[in-house]
Chain A
Amino acid sequence: DAMVIQNPRYQVTQFGKPVTLSCSQTLNHNVMYWYQQKSSQAPKLLFHYYDKDFNNEADTPDNFQSRRPNTSFCFLDIRSPGLGDAAMYLCATSREGRGTDTQYFGPGTRLTVL
């Protein structure tokens, strides 16, 4: 059974056109993460939510925003996608985000910017 679900799996948008990616989880975990992964690179953390508390990484561009309306769902909004934002976007969850808690990843959404 899918535990971390991402929709859509593939998203195409135009340069500058806002896009929203979604993630849902059935694990009832408190922490949800968004990562960006470019080709042949490791995932890079953009931000995370602990419950409703939002935590941004220092080098995440302002172009990236996130919303978590409830425990199960988290959204990644890209306000004005540029060509450099084309990547795989991964959602992950963790029970409490402790250093001893495992992160579980969704299948990812591959974003293409035309």
Chain B
Amino acid sequence: GQQLNQSPQSMFIQEGEDVSMNCTSSSIFNTWLWYKQDPGEGPVLLIALYKAGELTSNGRLTAQFGITRKDSFLNISASIPSDVGIYFCAGQLGNNDMRFGAGTRLTVKP
């Protein structure tokens, strides 16, 4: 299947720092989604992007749908300890066809 390349694989940052992660692909996606997964829990939707070029914020989180429809980034500003977790990007190619990135594991040091 079409691959989503998510980077970085892991990040170790100090509390208060800003974080940036991204996903790229060779395929064009209809929708980009960003999820956060805490240990032992299901993924929780953070931001959904529907239009090329769309920039959307959710509190300290900002995500953009790339203009080519082949990439997306997620920024977290002023990180706090509860931001710890695994962040997945997901792109929807078509009906019932969602592809996941491999995830970015975020560690925040107090």
Q: Give chain A's interface residues, CB within 8 Å of chain B.
A: 4, 6, 31, 33, 40-43, 45, 48, 50, 55, 88, 90, 92, 94, 97-108, 110
Contact = CB atoms under 8 A, between A and B. Distances in A.
Interface stretch (B12-20, B37-45, B52-60, B77-85): B37-45
Contacts of B96: 31, 33, 48, 50, 55, 94, 97
Nearest to B98: A103
B103 interface: yes
Given A99-B31, A99-B94, A100-B50, A107 B88 contact: no
B41 A100 contact: no
Contacts of B94: 99
| CB-based closest 4 A-B pairs | A99-B30, A42-B100, A105-B42, A97-B96
B45 A100 contact: no
A90 B43 contact: yes
B72 to A, nearest CB: 14
A55 B96 CA distance: 10
B44 A100 contact: no
Nearest to A108: B42
Nearest to A55: B96
B48 A42 contact: no
8 contacts: A6-B42, A41-B102, A42-B88, A88-B40, A92-B42, A102-B45, A103-B33, A105-B42
Nearest to B48: A102
A11 B45 CA distance: 25
